Structures are given as C-alpha cells and as structure tokens.
Structure 1
C-alpha cells in the first residue's frame, strides 16, 4: 500500500513498483486526484475522504 500515490514521490514509486511486478494499492485525498493524477500502474485506488478502514477491509477479504 502506498499512501499519497498522487504526490511527487508517490507517482515515481507507483511506476517503479509496477515495473517490479507489484500490484499497487494507492491512497489519495480526493476523487479528482484518483481520476486525473494517479498513474495506470496503480491497481486499486482508495480515496481518504471515504471510510478508509472499511474500504481496505473490503479489498483484503
């Protein structure tokens, strides 16, 4: 899981991890960032404005 996936370091980390074959779960602060800024390397995006813990539990079941 990578927090702040739409930030400068997050964008680079997502791309790097994807090249290594990692399926990235990324968090962002808004739906707008999830739609526009997060690279396609991120498999699953969780926005922090929603219930973060509930969303993560749903993914890991």
Structure 2
C-alpha cells in the first residue's frame, strides 16, 4: 500500500471519528470573512472615488 493511500485512509478515518462542529460557529466565521471582504471592497471603492474627485479638481 502506498504512503499516499495510507495517509488518505488515516485522515479520512480521523475525520470520520470526530464530532460534527457547531454550524453556528461555522456560520459566524463565514459571515466574518464575507464582511471583511465586503468592507475592503467598499473602502477601496471609496478611496478610488475620492482620488478621482481630487484628480478632476486639480485640472
């Protein structure tokens, strides 16, 4: 049996035996990631808008 197959079986058995995580924790982490991404995009859009406004005033 190859080492890759042994590693796969070890990991699949290990994860099959563990308890299912709380979905609330997973949802909170997912929401945190989404909020971080969205706030970064909004911040970048605002910065670019301010830059474009500043550049148009300097002409």
TM-score by length of 1: 0.25
The structure, 1 or 2, with the larger RCO (C-alpha pairs under 8 Å, 6+ apart) is 1
